[in-house]
Amino acid sequence: MGAGHDTVAGELARRAREQGHDARVVDLLRLLPHGLGTELRLFYQSSIRHYPWAYAGVYHALLRPGPRHRPSGIPLARLAGGRLTELAERSGADVVVPVFHLAAQLTGHLRRRGRLRAPSAVFVTDFAVHRQWLHPGNDLYLCLTDEAAREVGGSIAVPVETTGPVVAPGFFAPTSGAGAWRSLFERYAPGRPPVVLSAGAWGAASELDGTARLLAGAGFLPVVLCGRNDRLRAAMAQVPGALVPDWVTDMPALLRATRVLVDNAAGQTAVQALASGLPVVGYRPLPGHGAQGVRRMAALGVSEIAPDAAVLPAALRRLAADGAHRDRRIARGRELFRGDVLAPVAALAARHPV
């Protein structure tokens, strides 16, 4: 669902190949029969973009933590079981690494019933772990934070390790492309600190135009990322004082050229910002696990939350200004990133030879 899961899967595969392994990225939704995966993706995309109350209802019914029994994603996920096991057998997979909660439900189900011979190591991409990630049939869970690992370990009896987030190496290193972005910002709005407003790959955000107007009025340059939502991009281009680029192909350069990220999802853009040394402010988060993740990031001290429009400009001024406050936030964010996330995956494969 969305580019975040794809980005994590692609980076894990790149690292595996760099270490001399074969790696294949598989979209679980494409394994579902009768076009169900496409329909599910379209429903989720439409809900997030246009009917956030609908996804909030799904999250409340299926995903949110709590002791009460809730419906499982297994009946839907198991429809892809035959294709996944056939693919694993045909490719000779030594390990399967779900990075999406329905995939984690499926691999846990198949492992528990002995239908999937390769062990499964679930990489949880969320700061706040919702219940559909959890299945005791999986062999290993990898989490972004110690808090998430404790949450998983307290819910199911499965080995858990903290690996930190996964981002491409370019987000950690200086890049020459940042200079071109800075020159563009200075020509477009001299003296205004550039602040990224991200709506994710799908262009999903609440009152993004109002936020951009607020920031422009407060003396910032809002750099609005609309993902692949051309309709949103056209609308945002009409906001006075906002810079609305096309699809950005060099995110490390853009993030290093700006001063703060305003985030609404606690997803991959947020962790890319933390790796780049860009402070993050959560504002008007998407419902469900987006809001939960934004709150969890702030509780960890790696970001801040602006609860309303009256607070946001002041939070951005504090973080955009050079000094101890900005430095502390940057340092805390970079502490999330740890060693080789594939090391525990390789160790798992060695303990469970197929």
Residue type, 334: R
Indicate if the pLDDT at residue 322 is higher than 80: yes
Q: Is the pLDDT of residue 301 over 90?
A: yes
Pull the structure tokens for residue 88. Answer: 């694993």
Q: Is 187 left (phi over 0), alpha (psi -120 to 50) or beta?
A: alpha
Same domain, 201 and 250: yes
Are 68 and 211 in the same domain?
no
Looking at the fold, whether 141 and 237 belong to one and the same domain comes out as no
Residue 69: the pLDDT is 52
Q: What's the chain's average pLDDT?
A: 91
Task: Please say whether the beta carbons of 10 and 25 come within 8 A.
Answer: yes
pLDDT tens-place string over residues 52-71: 666 666 666 666 666 655 55
Q: Could you give the number of structural domains in the chain? A: 2
Q: Are 264 and 342 part of one and the same domain?
A: no
What is d(CA 12, CA 186) in angstroms, rounded to the nearest whole number? Answer: 36
CATH of the domain at 328: 3.40.50.2000
Cβ neighbours, 10 Å, residue 173: 10
Say if residue 14's pLDDT is above 80. Answer: yes
Full domain range(s) for residue 314: 170-334
Tell how far CA 77 is from the center of its chain. Answer: 21
The region of weakest confidence among 55-59, 85-89, 112-116 is 55-59
**Poorest-confidence range of 130-144, 200-214, 304-318?**
200-214
82 with 110, same domain? yes
Provide, rounded to the nearest whole percent, the portion of the chain with pLDDT above 90.
Answer: 73
My answer on whether 114 and 190 are in the same domain is no
254 in the same domain as 140: no
Task: Tell me the β-bridge partners of 243.
Answer: 223
159 with 225, same domain: the answer is: no
If asked whether residues 174 and 55 sit together in one domain, one would say no
- Mean pLDDT in residue range 303-309: 96
Mapping DSSP onto H, E and C, the string for the chain reads CHHHHHHHHHHHHHHHHHCCCCCCCCCHHHHCHHHHHHHHHHHHHHHHHHCHHHHHHHHHHHHCCCCCCCCCCHHHHHHHHHHHHHHHHHHCCCCECCCCHHHHHHHHHHHHCCCCCCCEEEECCCCCCCHHHCCCCCCEEEECCHHHHHHHHHHCCCCEEECCCCCCHHHCCCCCHHHHHHHHHHHHCCCCCEEEEECCCCCCCCCHHHHHHHHHHCCCEEEEECCCCHHHHHHHCCCCCCECCCCCCCHHHHHHHCCEEEECCCCHHHHHHHHHCCCEEECCCCCCHHHHHHHHHHHHCCCEECCCCCCHHHHHHHHHCCCHHHHHHHHHHHCCCCCCCHHHHHHHHHHCCC
Both tokens of residue 68?
Answer: 């009460």
**pTM of the predicted model as reported, rounded to 2 decimal places:** 0.91
In angstroms, what CA-CA distances link 202 with 50, 100, 247?
11, 17, 11
Name the more confident of 210 and 175.
210
The answer to whether residue 118 scores a pLDDT higher than 70 is: yes
Note whether 288 and 313 are same-domain residues.
yes
197 and 255 within one domain: yes
User: How many Å apart are CA 132 and CA 143, to the nearest integer?
Assistant: 15
Q: Is 153 found in the same domain as 46? A: yes
